[in-house]
């Protein structure tokens, strides 16, 4: 039996004639954090997302809630302190999504352990009362107990320190559900196609419902541009002559089987051959290895890994892991784009930076003459602080009544400390409801942990509208095993068609679109990805 489509109620609420207090454009980490911050203060809040929540960078992170050890090495103590504070808050407010994870820094030279140990003690101190566990020296035997596949030859011991781990797109869905709990409205597959102006002032936006093609107008007292690496596109809607503020870079990750890192801890390589940081992180019974930092001349919704980036990751992993994964072992390759803010003194001309390593990872808020508020930069760990700072500015710009933030102690939707198997834990207190639906015991694919019930739940409660929405972000099949996820696509399409009232032609189109997408997450024999190679600019 087809259930009523909840999207119609959402669209009716979004297009009500009463102006919104805050309109947020963009449904990634920064946009969802800002919208939740506004709604919890009692401001009427609408969020518009062009594709799906966390479709871009916000679903393609290294899956860490961290202070940024390498930022400490760069001397950015204030950024590290803020991120460590927010790390502690997020663990407290979303215990079903965040867990402590140990990281081994292997020492193959006599000076390595004391050198990194001193820095990580400072890392502990900066976390203060919200520190997870104290870092400590480990012997060779203890390091191998934590990470049995570390290369043993010349291993002296190492340092074990702790950071947080999470599921990024599931946090995005959790923020969506929490936003709705506080009366906020969010619409996905609703790209903004223009801004509304009263004279020079931005007073709202026009958005298109991608499912019907209908264009709607919404008005708001404050309009926030939180579109990540696409902020310059929206800024040009406001002012066609505005200079770009971003110099984006891409970070590549490969996903392999858990056998390559079977212990309890992750591995952190503090300095690779070209001066980067590399992680190998256990995640959902797989291992995520990355990342790179390659400047890119333009941005897209589906960036692709360069062959040399994949080679760099596998080559570095082989220096530390035994056995080491090869190209044949890679289950999925994914790429996230970082919205790094240009150094206006050196990059004012708008060109692509030759190196993005030194660009700010902090968040930036800029107010245009029109009143458009742009938030960009930052990272998942500090999403809450980004939202708080942005709403403070938005309230000032729009003359909204002053109200204090309440998100520091806000438990997010589903928050629970009850122990669940890894597969179900991300649902928190909703897990029992998901398990009560038809298909809770029917796997979508033999090589994936997910069930048919989760597709139904995603459609009914989590605004999933496409096969990609489900397999990439409501469950993480695309990232864990791209091939298997493509094989599961027909069944997912059939369930969604039943839930949303779609026909066979829709199902066929969805399956084809998803298989085309998933092909880009798989390695071919001779190239980094199935799409055409691209030479990195100025590298």
* Residue 291 CA, distance from chain mean position: 14
Full-model pTM: 0.94
The pLDDT score that the predictor gives to residue 362 is 80
The DSSP annotation for 77-113 comes to: HHHHHHHHHHHHHHHHH-TTT-EEEEEEEEE-STTHH
- Segment 33-52 mean pLDDT: 98
φ/ψ of residue 471, rounded to 5: -75, -20
Which tokens sit at 455?
A: 């597709």
Are 59 and 251 spatial neighbours (Cβ–Cβ below 8 Å)?
no
Query: Cα torsion at 381, 385, 387, 390 (round to 10°)?
Result: -130
Are 279 and 289 spatial neighbours (Cβ–Cβ below 8 Å)?
yes
How high is the mean pLDDT of the chain? 92
Confidence tier at 345 by pLDDT (50, 70, 90): low
pLDDT in tens, 378-392: 899 999 999 999 999
The pLDDT score that the predictor gives to residue 525 is 65
**What residues are paired with 101 via a beta bridge?**
163
Rounded Cα gap, residues 323 and 151, in angstroms: 8
Confidence tier at 499 by pLDDT (50, 70, 90): very high
The pLDDT score that the predictor gives to residue 526 is 54
CA atoms in the 13 A half-sphere facing the CB of 8: 5
pLDDT in tens, 319-342: 999 999 999 999 999 999 999 898
pLDDT in tens, 88-135: 999 999 999 999 999 999 999 988 999 999 999 999 999 999 999 999
Find tokens 């920064």 and name the residue: 30
The percent of residues in the chain predicted with pLDDT above 90, rounded, is 84
Is the model's pLDDT at 528 over the cut of 90? no
Is the model's pLDDT at 357 over the cut of 90? no
Are 161 and 123 spatial neighbours (Cβ–Cβ below 8 Å)?
yes
Q: Does domain 14-58+170-245+341-409 have CATH number 3.30.70.1450?
A: no
The pLDDT score that the predictor gives to residue 271 is 87
66-80, 162-176, 316-330, range with the lowest pLDDT = 66-80
* Residue 201 CA, distance from chain mean position: 32
- Identify which of 101, 100, 82, 83 has the alpha carbon closest to the alpha carbon of residue 91: 100
pLDDT in tens, 177-210: 999 999 999 999 999 999 999 999 999 999 999 9
Which tokens sit at 86?
A: 């927010």
Domain segments of the chain: what residues? 14-58+170-245+341-409, 99-164+248-337, 422-519
Is the model's pLDDT at 538 over the cut of 60? no
The pLDDT score that the predictor gives to residue 74 is 74
Rounded Cα gap, residues 359 and 368, in angstroms: 22
- Segment 510-521 mean pLDDT: 98
- Segment 499-523 mean pLDDT: 98
Query: By CB neighbour count within 10 A (0-12 exposed, 13-18 middle, 19+ buried), where does 504 fall?
Result: exposed
The pLDDT score that the predictor gives to residue 535 is 31
Is the model's pLDDT at 162 over the cut of 90? yes
The pLDDT score that the predictor gives to residue 348 is 41
The pLDDT score that the predictor gives to residue 344 is 59
Rounded Cα gap, residues 217 and 206, in angstroms: 4
Q: Which fold has domain 422-519?
A: Helicase, Ruva Protein; domain 3 (1.10.8)
Alpha helices (runs of H) in 58-204, residue ranges in sequence order: 69-73, 77-93, 112-127, 140-146, 168-181
- Segment 135-149 mean pLDDT: 97
The pLDDT score that the predictor gives to residue 36 is 98
Confidence tier at 68 by pLDDT (50, 70, 90): confident
**Superfamily designation of domain 99-164+248-337:** D-Amino Acid Oxidase, subunit A, domain 2 (3.30.9.10)
The percent of residues in the chain predicted with pLDDT above 70, rounded, is 93
């Amino acid at each position: 039996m087809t259930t009523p489509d909840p999207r119609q109620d959402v669209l009716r609420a979004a297009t009500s004639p009463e102006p919104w207090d805050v309109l947020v454009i963009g449904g990634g980490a920064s946009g969802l954090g800002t919208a939740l911050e506004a709604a919890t203060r009692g401001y009427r809040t609408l969020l518009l997302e062009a594709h799906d929540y966390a479709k871009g960078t916000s679903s393609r992170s290294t899956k860490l809630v961290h202070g940024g050890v390498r930022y400490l090495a760069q001397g950015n103590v204030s950024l590290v302190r803020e991120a460590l504070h927010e790390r502690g808050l997020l663990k407290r407010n979303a215990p079903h999504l965040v867990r402590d994870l140990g990281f081994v820094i292997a020492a193959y030279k006599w000076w390595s352990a004391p050198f990194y140990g001193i820095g990580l003690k400072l890392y502990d101190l900066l976390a203060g009362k919200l520190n997870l566990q104290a870092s400590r020296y480990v012997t060779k035997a203890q390091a191998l107990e934590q990470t049995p596949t570390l290369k043993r030859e010349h291993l002296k011991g190492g340092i074990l320190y702790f950071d947080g781990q999470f599921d990024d797109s599931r946090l995005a869905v959790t923020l969506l559900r929490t936003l709705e709990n506080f009366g906020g409205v969010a619409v996905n597959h609703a790209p903004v196609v223009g801004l509304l102006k009263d004279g020079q002032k931005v007073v709202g936006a026009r958005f298109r419902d991608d499912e019907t093609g209908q264009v709607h107008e919404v008005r708001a007292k404050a309009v926030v541009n939180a579109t990540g690496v696409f902020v310059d596109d929206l800024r040009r809607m406001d002012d066609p002559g505005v200079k770009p503020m971003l110099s984006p870079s891409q970070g590549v990750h490969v996903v392999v089987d858990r056998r390559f890192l079977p212990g309890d801890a992750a591995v952190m390589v503090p300095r690779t051959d070209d001066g980067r940081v590399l992680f190998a992180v256990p995640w959902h019974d797989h291992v995520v290895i990355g990342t790179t930092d390659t400047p890119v001349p333009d941005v897209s919704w589906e960036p692709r890994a360069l062959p040399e980036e994949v080679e760099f990751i596998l080559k570095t992993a082989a220096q530390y892991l035994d056995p080491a994964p090869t190209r044949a072992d890679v289950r999925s390759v994914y790429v996230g784009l970082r919205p790094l803010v240009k150094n206006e003194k050196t990059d004012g001309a708008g060109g692509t930076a030759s190196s993005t390593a030194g660009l700010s990872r902090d968040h930036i808020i800029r107010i245009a003459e029109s009143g458009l508020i742009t938030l960009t930069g930052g990272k998942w760990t500090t999403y809450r602080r980004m939202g708080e700072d942005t709403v403070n500015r938005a309230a000032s710009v729009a003359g909204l009544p002053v109200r204090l933030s309440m998100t520091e102690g806000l438990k997010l939707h589903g928050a629970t400390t009850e122990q669940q198997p890894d597969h179900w834990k991300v649902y928190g207190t909703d897990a029992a409801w998901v398990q009560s639906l038809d298909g809770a015991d029917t796997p979508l694919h033999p090589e994936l942990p997910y069930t048919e019930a989760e597709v139904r739940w995603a459609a009914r409660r989590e605004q999933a509208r496409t096969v990609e929405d489900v397999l990439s972000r409501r469950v993480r099949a695309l990232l864990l095993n791209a091939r298997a996820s493509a094989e599961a696509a027909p069944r997912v399409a059939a369930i969604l068609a039943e839930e949303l009232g779609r026909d066979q032609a829709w199902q066929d189109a969805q399956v084809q679109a998803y298989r085309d997408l998933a092909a880009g997450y798989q390695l071919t024999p001779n190239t980094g990805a199935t799409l055409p190679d691209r030479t990195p600019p100025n590298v």
